[in-house]
């Protein structure tokens, strides 16, 4: 693993930083993304930002040029993520499309499907959601019960999904549905694209512990899915979903970006509160710093594998385990820094950050659940990395 950047990589980084200094909607290195009370308003503002970023060709840099990318390698992708973190740029609102759907379409989609959907993903012209989980299919995802019944020209979809992030804003969803109920459970599933505006698709937002309504229940009643919305082969949806899940758990520059920013803010908060000299907190702040740095190094190791043309593989689960546990510790430290202000919420007096930290603490409690629970990641690490005996099934 050689971490020294080449002159081309240095030039690429400089170009990206210069673009951000010029285009960031607030002062580079100082300002913050504005805060919105209304999720729909936030989504609209973030769509505009993503379109601008894509206009500079800084979204999906590893995608082929034919679909709006730069055909760049994983290291360039990583450089862009680091520069976005440095600029304190907000998360991409089209992240499900960019991080999960795009790579899956590139691996399994037809040329028509790629040409139709990929460029509109980059600019957030269309948003996507992931219709995988169901009330009885989370960790045991192959248990999906949503049925796709063949009809003239496609399928009729019936069933229920749950925890579907951003479904209320999505134009399209990637969905796992059972097309052969007689086949063994991993073999009778197909991977289809659902038009979220179609008749028979009913999206009902759920209120989370943070008071936000980011995720939803989605009900299908005879919703039509045309034949050309099938990704990969019929009944082979389980194989196709592997691409989506690998990208969800593998190298995770997205979480690295977020946690580098959180660490920066945490250290600033501690300094502002005059707590650097508090011996009870010094250790924990140093711990947060060391852990984020270790996370960065873990990412670089995975990146090095990718740059050498190797897959991240099941070690991606170790990375997911690491960052999610790290995140909870970092947020606990933030609560300790806030001290008596930690139980306060937005709008309260004497609450540094006006509830941002409390919201983030609550949100990241879910980090050990989303993208596959930590128990499941431990099983994967045990069985497929360490070679321990398989869990009884
Ligand atoms: C914030 C958030 C956003 C999400 N967004 C989406 C989305 O956009 N699209 C989507 O499809 N899904 C989404 N999910 C769903 C997520 O993928 C599931 O919650 C997750 O896979 C766990 O499934 P479950 O909730 O059904 O829990 P279950 O699978 O019912 O698990 C319950 C508990 O049992 C444990 N457990 C289960 N099986 C085993 C085992 N074999 N060994 C040891 N322990 C086990 C689990 O670890 C967990 O603690 C989201 C979840 C969250 C929290």
SS3 assignment for the chain: CCCCCCHHHHHHHHHHHHHHHHHCCCCCCCCCCCCCCCHHHHHHHHHHHHHHHHHCCCCCCCCCHHHCCCCCCHHHHHHHHHHHHHCCCCCCCCHHHHHHHHHHHHHHCCHHHHHHHHHHHHCCCCCEEEECCECCECCCHHHCCCEEEEECCEEEEEEEEEEEECHHHCCEEEEEEECCCCCCCCCCEEEEEEECCCCCEEEEECCCCCCCCCEEEEEEEEEEEEHHHEECCCCEHHHHHHHHHHHHHCCCHHHHHHHHHHHHHHHHHHHHCCCCCCHHHHHHHHHHHHHHHHHHHHHHHHHHHHHCCCCCCCHHHHHHHHHHHHHHHHHHHHHHHHHHHCCCCCCCCCCCCCCHHHHHHHHHHHHHCCCCCHHHHHHHHHHHHCCCCCCCC
Buried b (16+ CB within 10 A) or exposed e, 116-153: ebbbbbbbbebbbbbbbbbeebbeebbebebebeeeee
Is 361 close to ligand 1, i.e. is its CB under 6 Å away?
A: no
Ligand 1 pocket test: which of 132, 133, 160, 325 has the largest number of ligand atoms within 8 Å of its C-beta?
133
Task: Give the pLDDT confidence of 157-174 residue by residue, as tens digits.
Answer: 999 999 999 999 999 999
Is 160 close to ligand 1, i.e. is its CB under 6 Å away?
A: no
Which ligand 1 atom sits closest to the C-alpha of 130? 9
Q: Which of 134-143, 249-258, 347-356 has the lowest mean pLDDT?
A: 249-258
Buried b (16+ CB within 10 A) or exposed e, 49-60: bbebbbeebbbb
Mean of the pLDDT values across residues 294-307?
Answer: 87
Catalytic positions: 248
Residue 393 pLDDT greater than 90, yes or no? no
Confidence grade of residue 306 (pLDDT, cut at 50, 70, 90): confident
pTM over 0.75: yes
Name every residue whose Cβ is closer than 8 Å to that of residue 178 and which is 6 or more positions away in sequence.
144, 145, 146, 147, 148, 188, 189, 190
Q: Which residue has the higher pLDDT, 256 or 285?
A: 285
Is 145 close to ligand 1, i.e. is its CB under 6 Å away?
A: no
What's residue 257's pLDDT? 84
CA of 383 to the centre of ligand 1 (A): 19
What's residue 130's pLDDT? 97
| Residue-level length of the chain | 393
Ligand 1 pocket test: which of 136, 321, 364, 369 has the largest number of ligand atoms within 8 Å of its C-beta?
369
Residue 105 pLDDT greater than 70, yes or no? yes
Confidence grade of residue 304 (pLDDT, cut at 50, 70, 90): confident
Is 138 close to ligand 1, i.e. is its CB under 6 Å away?
A: yes
Average pLDDT, the chain: 93
Q: Give, in order, the Cα–Cα distances in Å from 123 to each of 9, 119, 291, 348.
A: 24, 7, 34, 37
CA of 34 to the centre of ligand 1 (A): 31
Q: Which of 16-20, 81-85, 312-316, 336-340 has the lowest mean pLDDT?
A: 312-316
CA of 321 to the centre of ligand 1 (A): 14
Please name the residue whose Cα sits nearest to atom 23 of ligand 1: 138
Residue 252 pLDDT greater than 70, yes or no? no
Residue 251 pLDDT greater than 70, yes or no? no
Please name the residue whose Cα sits nearest to atom 44 of ligand 1: 375
Is 366 close to ligand 1, i.e. is its CB under 6 Å away?
A: yes
Is 133 close to ligand 1, i.e. is its CB under 6 Å away?
A: yes
d(CA 256, CA 21): 21
Residue 217 pLDDT greater than 90, yes or no? yes
Closest CA to 189 of 129, 132, 247, 151: 132
Is 373 close to ligand 1, i.e. is its CB under 6 Å away?
A: yes
Return the percentage of the chain with pLDDT > 90, whole number.
77
Task: Give the pLDDT confidence of 29-79 residue by residue, as tens digits.
Answer: 777 778 787 899 999 999 999 999 999 999 999 999 999 999 999 889 989
């Amino acid at each position: 693993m050689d971490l020294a950047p080449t002159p081309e990589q240095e030039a690429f980084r400089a170009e990206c930083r210069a673009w951000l200094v010029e285009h960031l909607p607030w002062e580079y290195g100082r300002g913050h993304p504005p805060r919105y009370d209304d999720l729909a308003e936030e989504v609209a503002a973030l769509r505009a930002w993503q379109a601008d970023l894509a206009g500079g060709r800084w979204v999906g840099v590893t995608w082929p040029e034919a679909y709006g990318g730069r055909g760049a390698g994983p290291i360039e992708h990583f450089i862009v993520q680091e520069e976005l973190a440095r600029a304190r740029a907000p998360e991409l609102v089209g992240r499900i499309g960019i991080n999960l759907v795009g790579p899956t379409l590139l691996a399994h989609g037809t040329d028509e499907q790629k040409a139709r959907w990929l460029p509109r993903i980059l600019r957030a012209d269309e948003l996507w959601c992931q219709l995988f989980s169901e009330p009885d299919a989370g960790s045991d995802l192959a248990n999906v019960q949503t049925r796709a019944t063949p009809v003239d020209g496609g399928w009729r979809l019936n069933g229920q999904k749950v925890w579907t992030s951003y479904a209320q804003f999505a134009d399209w969803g990637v969905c796992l549905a059972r097309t052969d109920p007689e086949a063994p459970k991993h073999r009778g599933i197909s991977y289809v694209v659902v038009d979220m505006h179609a008749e028979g698709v009913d999206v009902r937002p759920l209120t989370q512990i943070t008071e936000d309504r980011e995720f939803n229940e989605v009900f299908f009643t005879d919703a039509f899915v045309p034949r050309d919305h099938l990704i990969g082969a019929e009944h082979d949806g389980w194989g196709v979903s592997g691409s989506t899940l690998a990208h969800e758990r593998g190298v995770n520059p997205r979480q690295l970006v977020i946690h580098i920013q959180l660490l920066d803010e945490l250290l600033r908060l501690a300094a502002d509160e005059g707590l650097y000299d508090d011996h009870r907190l010094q250790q924990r702040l140093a711990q947060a710093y060391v852990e984020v740095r270790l996370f960065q190094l873990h990412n670089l190791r995975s990146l090095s594998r990718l740059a050498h043309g190797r897959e991240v593989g099941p070690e991606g689960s170790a990375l997911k385990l690491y960052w999610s546990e790290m995140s909870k510790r970092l947020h606990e430290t933030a609560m300790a820094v806030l001290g008596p202000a930690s139980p306060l919420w937005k709008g309260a007096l004497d609450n540094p950050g006006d509830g941002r930290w409390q919201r983030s603490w609550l949100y990241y409690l879910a980090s050990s659940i989303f993208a596959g629970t930590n128990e499941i990641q431990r099983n994967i690490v045990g069985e497929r990395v360490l070679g321990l005996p398989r869990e009884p099934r």
